[in-house]
Amino acid sequence: DAQAAYESANTLQASALAGVNFMLHTAGWLEGGLSMGYEKFIMDADQAGMLAVMLEGVELSENAQAMDAFREIGPGGHFLGAEHTHANFESAFYRSEIADNNSFEQWEEEGSFDCAMRANLKWKEMLKEYEAPPLDPAIDEALLEFITKRKSEFEDRDY
């Protein structure tokens, strides 16, 4: 729900701004880690992506400063038709795969899909398209034997 989303966003942002270089359990947690949600995983991963872009800092290259565009357009103009805008608009900002940036009316006309609904579709699409990496059959067999051996060494529990 919205509370879980904003709690995660605040925690992620505070951790990132504090300078951590590794965050374990960044995505999907609910109830303080007692459960997880696929939709929340997708939404949290999206937030982490936004933060990663933010932490890259401000680019100060010639292109990023866009001084040629300022000179081309001049005072009182707009940049929508500028060559610089056309060359850079697709990569200038983080583009979420689950955010809907349409107007409210468009959003309603297209089915009123909220973020959780879009995240639900996204994880299902990702799972459907997943291809397991190649694994040597001997390694696979050794891993399965190891799992079986380890499981036999302790009492089976419901966790």
Q: Per-residue pLDDT tens for 88-141?
A: 988 888 889 999 999 999 999 999 999 999 999 999 999 999 999 999 999 999
In a domain, 84, yes or no: no
What pLDDT was estimated at residue 100?
Answer: 94
Burial class (CB in 10 A: 0-12, 13-18, 19+), 40: buried
Q: How many domains does the chain have?
A: 1
Q: Is the pLDDT at 157 greater than 80, yes or no? A: no
Does residue 157 lie in a domain region?
Answer: no
Asked whether residue 107 is assigned to any structural domain, the reply reads: yes
**Would residue 144 count as lying in a domain?**
yes
> Is there a domain that residue 31 lies in?
yes
Residue 83 lies in a domain: no
Domain contains 140: yes
Domain of 148, in residue numbers: 2-57+97-152
pTM assigned to the model: 0.76
Q: Which of 132, 125, 130, 129 is nearest to 39 (CA)?
A: 125
Q: Is 143 helix (H, G, I), strand (E, B) or coil?
A: helix
The pLDDT tens digits for 12-52 are 899 999 988 888 777 898 888 889 999 999 999 999 999 98
Residue 78 lies in a domain: no
